Chains A and B, each alone.
Chain A
Amino acid sequence: GENVEQHPSTLSVQEGDSAVIKCTYSDSASNYFPWYKQELGKRPQLIIDIRSNVGEKKDQRIAVTLNKTAKHFSLHITETQPEDSAVYFCAASIARAGGTSYGKLTFGQGTILTVHP
């Protein structure tokens, strides 16, 4: 089955700096890669996702890059703010053609991001 490795496990940055979290996956059939932010005791919140037909996607301060050949994808957060502090998870799944059916999500181990004011 799919295996997703995520690094680093903890990341501490100063407010305004950039943060990068990296993930690798094992199943070349995976084609949907979401990133989630989870606060303590809460549900994961989707912050950005990318499909395998795209190499990069950006949404304001957040961007994701995907290298299908190397089977890795990364989350980039620029101009970090204290409210960005949380646990971030990458995940991978297989979506059928047409995007009408998605398989199970396999999560990375998570990264605790701390943004110091």
Chain B
Amino acid sequence: GAVVSQHPSWVICKSGTSVKIECRSLDFQATTMFWYRQFPKQSLMLMATSNEGSKATYEQGVEKDKFLINHASLTLSTLTVTSAHPEDSSFYICSARPARAGGYTFGSGTRLTVV
């Protein structure tokens, strides 16, 4: 089946540093990747939609200069949390929809803890 590989699965970083999260589509081309954030005991909230070869579309209230998204190829999208602060600690998860599949495929998620 269609697989999205997400790395790292967890990361702890110091306040003020940047963290990059990668999502790779392993057996399909992902022209669009969706990035979600999930705080404890809450729902998945869409942060941005990345499109291969063009600028990402950010949801209202999401700082595009803080959450940098790059979708340079049809199989790789990255999310960089810049100047991370403790309030950025969350579960970040990507998702794509393979053309041949019936639904969305999710990455395994990244647990970010900023200390």
* Complexed CA–CA distance, A43 and B97 (Å): 15
B42 touches A102 (CB 8 A): no
Contact digits for A76-117, partner B, Cβ 8 Å, 1 yes 0 no: 000000000000010000000000101011111110000000
In the assembled complex, which residues on chain A have CB atoms less than 8 Å from the CB atom of B28? Answer: none
- The answer, yes or no, to whether A20 is at the interface (CB within 8 Å) is no
- The answer, yes or no, to whether A44 is at the interface (CB within 8 Å) is yes
* Complexed CA–CA distance, A48 and B103 (Å): 10
Select from chain A the residue with minimum beta-carbon distance to B40: A40
- The answer, yes or no, to whether B111 is at the interface (CB within 8 Å) is yes
Give the interface size bracket for B toward A.
20 to 34
* Complexed CA–CA distance, A108 and B44 (Å): 8
Give the interface size bracket for A toward B.
10 to 19
A49 touches B102 (CB 8 A): yes
B108 touches A43 (CB 8 A): yes
- The answer, yes or no, to whether A61 is at the interface (CB within 8 Å) is no
* Complexed CA–CA distance, A42 and B42 (Å): 14
A34 touches B103 (CB 8 A): yes
In the assembled complex, which residues on chain A have CB atoms less than 8 Å from the CB atom of B109? Answer: 41-43
In the assembled complex, which residues on chain A have CB atoms less than 8 Å from the CB atom of B44? Answer: 44, 89, 105, 107
Other-chain contact of B46, A41, A42, A43, A105 (Cβ < 8 Å): A105
* Complexed CA–CA distance, A84 and B68 (Å): 37
A108 touches B104 (CB 8 A): no
- The answer, yes or no, to whether A46 is at the interface (CB within 8 Å) is yes
In the assembled complex, which residues on chain B have CB atoms less than 8 Å from the CB atom of A105? Answer: 34, 44, 46, 95, 104
Contact digits for A60-71, partner B, Cβ 8 Å, 1 yes 0 no: 000000000000
Known: A34-B104, A43-B93, A105-B44. 13 other contacts (CB 8 A): A41-B109, A43-B107, A44-B44, A44-B93, A44-B106, A46-B104, A100-B99, A104-B46, A105-B34, A107-B44, A108-B43, A109-B42, A109-B43
Residues of B participating in the A interface, judged by any CB pair closer than 8 Å: 34, 42-46, 49, 91, 93, 95, 97, 99, 102-104, 106-109, 111
